Amino acid sequence: MEAHKQLTIGLFGFGTVGEGLYKILQQTPSLKASIRKVCIKHPGKKREAPAELFTTDRDVLLNDENINVIVEVIDDANAAFEIVSKALKNGKAVVSASKKMIAEHLPEILKLQQETDQPFLCEAAACASIPVIRNLEEYYDNDLLHSIRAIVNGSTNFILTKMFEDKLDFQSALLLAQQLGFAESNPKLDVEGYDAVNKWSILLNHAYGIVEHPDHILFSGIQNIQLSDALVAREKHLDIKLVAQAKKLNNGEVAAYVLPQFVKHDDPLSFVKNEYNGVVIESGFADKQFFYGKGAGSFPTASAVLSDIAALRYHYRYEY
C-alpha cells in the first residue's frame, strides 16, 4: 500500500467495536482513512450513521475496487473466515478483531497471507487496547522469551473483581459485564474460558511462532468460582484471577494453559481490576515487564483496530 494513498475501508460489523471505530475515525482526519461502506446483518436496527452507508451484501464491499482495506469485527467465526479469505484473495489488506475465527483458522490465514502477499493484522484480537501483539512480534527475541503470564479476558476479570470488591454474586456481576458491552454475545465464551484460550492461541503464535489450535491448549474458565471462594481467598490476602500462562521449558518446548489461579497481592496481575487486562513478560536481559490497559469495551477495542489501520500506512505486517 502506498504511504500517501487514502485508506478506503469496507467495514464488516457495526456492533460495539464497529460503531466505536466509526466514531473514532471521525476524530482522526490526519490518518486519511474513511469508511466507504458497512456490511451489517440486521438492516432494521437504528444506527447513528447515514443509512446509505449500510448494506447487507458482502460482495458490495469485497468487489469494490475503491476499497483497499477490509476491517472485519463480526462475531460469527465462519462468516468472518469467508470474508477474510475473499478479501485477501481480492487483493485487499485485512484488519480483524475476530479472535475465535483467527485462533481456529490460524494455519489457513498464514497460508493465505503468503499466497496473496496481503497484510493481515489483528491487534484488537487479544487484550484490546494493549499493543501486545505488535510488541511480541517486534521487541522480543524468541530464544530469550522465558515466559508470559496474562489476564486476557476483560469480562471474567470484571466479574471476579466485582465478587471480590463489592461482594456481588456471579450472575449480577455477569449481567453488569453484559450491560457495559464487555461480554461476548454468548457470555458462555467468556465465563467458560473459550475467549481467553482463543486469545492465548493467537498470542502464542506471535510470541513463539507456535500454531496451536485452542482445542489443544488446557483451559478452564471461572464457572465454578463462588462468592464464598472469593471471600475465603481474600481472607488469605489472595486474589483469584483467570491467568493465561506460557513458559519455555528446558527442552525448548512451550507449556501453555489458561486456568483460574490464586494470585498474591504483590503480583502485578493482582493490580489488574475490572475489564482491564495485563501481561507480564519475562525475557533474558530485559527481565520482567508489565503491560496494562483496557481489555474490552467499544473504544479500547476500536483503538487497537485503528492502530492496525495506521500500521498499514507503513506497510507493517507480521512475520510468518
Residues annotated as part of the active site? 199
- Closer residue to ligand HSE, CB minimum distance, 62 or 202: 202
| DSSP H or E stretch at residue 54 | strand 54-55
Taking the C-alpha atoms of residue 41 and residue 119, their distance in angstroms, rounded to an integer, is: 26
In the list 94, 128, 173, 222, the residue contacting ligand HSE (rule: CB under 6 A) is: 128
- Closer residue to ligand HSE, CB minimum distance, 7 or 122: 122
Rule CB under 6 A: which of 188-207 touch ligand HSE?
190, 195
CB of 108 to ligand HSE, least distance (A): 22
Q: Looking at the chain, how many residues does it have?
A: 320
Question: Is residue 182 a contact residue for ligand HSE (CB under 6 A)?
Answer: yes
In contact, 185 and 179? CB cutoff 8 Å: no
In the list 296, 304, 311, 312, the residue contacting ligand HSE (rule: CB under 6 A) is: 296
Q: Residue with the closest Cβ to ligand HSE?
A: 155
Taking the C-alpha atoms of residue 209 and residue 203, their distance in angstroms, rounded to an integer, is: 9
Question: Is residue 184 a contact residue for ligand HSE (CB under 6 A)?
Answer: yes
In the list 10, 154, 193, 293, the residue contacting ligand HSE (rule: CB under 6 A) is: 154
In the list 155, 161, 198, 303, the residue contacting ligand HSE (rule: CB under 6 A) is: 155
Taking the C-alpha atoms of residue 217 and residue 176, their distance in angstroms, rounded to an integer, is: 29
DSSP state of 253: -
Measured CA angle at 203 (ends 201, 207), to 5 deg = 120
In contact, 309 and 31? CB cutoff 8 Å: yes
Segment near ligand HSE (CB under 6 A); pick from 52-60, 183-191, 201-209, 220-228? 183-191
- Closer residue to ligand HSE, CB minimum distance, 155 or 201: 155
Segment near ligand HSE (CB under 6 A); pick from 24-32, 72-80, 151-159, 214-222? 151-159
Question: Among 250, 231, 241, 307, which Cα is nearest to 280's?
Answer: 241
184: left (phi over 0), alpha (psi -120 to 50) or beta: beta
CB of 305 to ligand HSE, least distance (A): 12
Taking the C-alpha atoms of residue 296 and residue 6, their distance in angstroms, rounded to an integer, is: 29
In the list 96, 153, 201, 303, the residue contacting ligand HSE (rule: CB under 6 A) is: 153
Residues interacting with ligand HSE, by CB under 6 A? 128, 153-155, 182-184, 190, 195, 295-296, 301
